[in-house]
Structure 1
Amino acid sequence: MRVAPHHHQMEQSDNKVLKDGITFDDVLIAPAYSDFTPENADTGTQLTRSITLNIPLISAPMDTVTESGLARALAQEGGIGVVHKNLPAERQAHEVARVKRSENGVIADPVILGPDASVAEASGLMAEQGVSGFPVTEDGTSQGKLVGILTRRDMTFLSGEDGAARVGEVMTHENLVTAPSGISPIDAESIMTRARVEKLPLLSEGGALAGLMTMRDLENVRNHPHA
């Protein structure tokens, strides 16, 4: 580390010790020789015995700093955000769930609706969960048979008076595009591209809903390889 010769003199008062002061602009870190290129640099950091970060960045658990937005952005780059505790326990869990909702492009436990749910309820959940669509099963659970998928596009031309309409009346239920659970992100993206859909429900061998892939999540995986 080199310190520039220029410095700022602090005023002496009340018998305080006179010291030199420097600013960020006064400090220059001289580059040293390395035998690897920047793209091959490993910035991985062992946070705990079982958790390794791809970048050594952790956000402060302050209510003016870390909620789901920053925590998600850090996670995408390989760091970690610590959600502050100035929230009710349920809200804290909700913030964490928004960050962890997708892993490797697969939403393992997507929010599911039943066909009898109201459009108003679906719209509220979209805003609350920060998503743009839901799988719809016969009984509104992951064990039920998939009968449709509701997306924001299905609700585009509904008026305010249609809030009481049932999800089953407006969802897409014909020619549903699905894939088996365990499908690779590359194959899933290929299916969605060919079918021109943005959401791909994943089904188990027994036909139960096993997860959901979205084009947006797959793009995030591709654009953030260190997540």
Structure 2
Amino acid sequence: MYKHNLWELPILNGLPLAMAEKPQNLILEDGFPAVKLFNQGYSYTYDDVIFLPHYIDFATDSVQLNTKLTKNISLSIPCVSSPMDTVTESYMAVAMAYLGGIGILHSNNTPSEQFALLESAKSRRIPFVSDFEVKSPADVIELSDFGYGTVILVTDTGSRKSRVLGYVLKSVWVNLKNKDGRVCDYMSKLDYSVPSSYHLDQIAGFLGDKGVKLVPTVRESDGEVVDVMTLEDIEKFQEYPKRGLPSLTPNGDFLVGAAIGTRDSDKQRLEYLVKGGVDAVVLDSSQGNSIYQLDMIKYIKKTYPGLDVIGGNVVTAYQAQNLIQAGVDGLRVGMGSGSICTTQEVCAVGRGQATAVYKVSSIASKSGVPVIADGGISNSGHIVKALVLGASTVMMGSYLAGSTEAPGAYVVQDGRRLKKYRGMGSLEAMTKGSDQRYLGDKSKLKIAQGVVGAVADKGSILKFVPYAMHAVKQGFQDLGASSLQSAHELLRSEVLRLEARTGAAQAEGGVHGLVSYEKKAF
């Protein structure tokens, strides 16, 4: 049979037509495979490296971001909030689980205080930040009592654990002629509530049936008022972007993790958490490859064999292997890469986060242990890089700090709403107890490995995290990866290629050459 030579075939876009119609499996050396790039003696951050685009044969919405937090816990989005006292308490934990990720409650508090945060998160079904005060009928209200909220709840004794009697709206109170009177003289009566286990549609139905504007939600176990929900709150929820499947236990409550240390006293903390139904514990240490952590891992796996343990932090294959052999179900990777962390500067140890994630993931994947890339996340591109380099999830601190769900009150400075954000290695945090994370001793000198700062108001994570996840999906599409598993396989098979970026290339890859601009992510 006669066969055409390539130069005799019709030409399209500079290629023979038969070749132009579909991609050819040509061997074209371009860029570097990860195994080569990360074995040249350089410590790369996320900004130091860039992926080369691959082939697209699927839509953005086809990308699946479901993943593993640990060997036994699955999430629908690869997002974890950091166990920092200015990032994750009950509101953040609930919102993260509502979106399909998970929050890790910080341990810079007493065991009973951490238990209360866990109990609060576990009793909720709606990721609502309820800012309200509680008064007794005999109290007198001042304007400052409302804080940032719009309602004051009135109970028998003025505590959240007593019977609800009524409420006072700020909009009504400011128009009162006699503001010096007792609350009982002008409060609106309130003789109903709903269980805190109610979902959003159930509360909306209750408000509609009753024809009322607000309702308190009460925890059934002890009668404590958890939230106050209004019609306006429900309308606000309906405006948020579409979310993925929430992270739920078989019982229907939200998945919640918690941090503990490696001291003997943390065994009591752990006992509290297990009683509260914690779903995973994170051993919170800046350098996880220690006898203290190895012993704690073995203790937990022996005492609570059904509880998933996340070890760390580690940045090398050697560190990771030690913790894997001890029995961890997940690994937390990062040392000195956080925006408020100064470990690399103070102690001269650590590793660029891109290199750390790739190196640890390479060894952890052989044992089926998922990796959490902790630190260094400033934008959705960093999330893409962390996940493609081998991580199963990313842990975020500054990225979530300043949000509505982050702990702390907003302050206004130079016309901007700000919230405090501090490293757990800052002197301020260490004085409160986080020095054990750095294997410190309360009776000795404290050396700061972090700073205290402030971040701008970001609004609710219920709005900006879904947008970030869609941006991540677009990044995966450009790389030809329809899932995390696909991305990891493309990297291991050397199909995906990378290059190191010069300083000029990094500048070129960002906004440049403008006199002024406004940068909005969505």
* TM-score, length-scaled by structure 2: 0.28
Residue 157 to residue 54, structure 1, CA distance change in 2 (3 Å): farther
Alignment partner of 1:147 is 2:169: no
Question: What's the CA shift string for 1:166-185, capped at 9, x where partnerless?
Answer: 32233212xx4735547663
State whether residues 81 and 88 of structure 2, in contact with CA within 8 Å, keep that contact through their aligned partners in structure 1. no
State whether residues 84 and 106 of structure 2, in contact with CA within 8 Å, keep that contact through their aligned partners in structure 1. yes
Match of residue 103, structure 1, among 124, 138, 141: 124
Structure 2 Cα separation of the partners of residues 142 and 179 of structure 1:
13
Which residue of 2 is the match for residue 28 of structure 1? 52
Q: Which has the higher relative contact order, 1 or 2, with Cα contacts under 8 A spaced 6 or more apart?
A: 2
Structure 2 Cα separation of the partners of residues 203 and 75 of structure 1:
20
SS of 1:157's partner is coil
Residue 177 to residue 218, structure 1, CA distance change in 2 (3 Å): farther
Structure 2 Cα separation of the partners of residues 186 and 136 of structure 1:
26
Alignment partner of 1:172 is 2:188: yes
SS of 2:207's partner is helix
Match of residue 229, structure 2, among 185, 210, 214: 214
Structure 2 Cα separation of the partners of residues 52 and 193 of structure 1:
36
Structure 1 Cα separation of the partners of residues 169 and 152 of structure 2:
6
SS of 1:154's partner is helix
Amino acid at match of 1:105: I
Map 1:43-54; keep pairs closer than 5 Å. 43-47=66-70, 49=72, 52-54=74-76
Structure 1 Cα separation of the partners of residues 154 and 139 of structure 2:
10
Residue 169 to residue 104, structure 1, CA distance change in 2 (3 Å): same
Map 1:71-82; keep pairs closer than 5 Å. 74-82=96-104
Which residue of 2 is the match for residue 59 of structure 1? 81
Question: What's the CA shift string for 1:37-77, capped at 9, x where partnerless?
Answer: 8368351434474x5433222234457x7255866664442
Residue 220 to residue 56, structure 1, CA distance change in 2 (3 Å): farther
Structure 2 Cα separation of the partners of residues 96 and 60 of structure 1:
15
Structure 1 Cα separation of the partners of residues 70 and 75 of structure 2:
7
State whether residues 217 and 228 of structure 2, in contact with CA within 8 Å, keep that contact through their aligned partners in structure 1. yes
Structure 1 Cα separation of the partners of residues 116 and 125 of structure 2:
19
Which residue of 2 is the match for residue 157 of structure 1? 175
Identity of aligned residues (%): 17
State whether residues 59 and 66 of structure 1, in contact with CA within 8 Å, keep that contact through their aligned partners in structure 2. yes
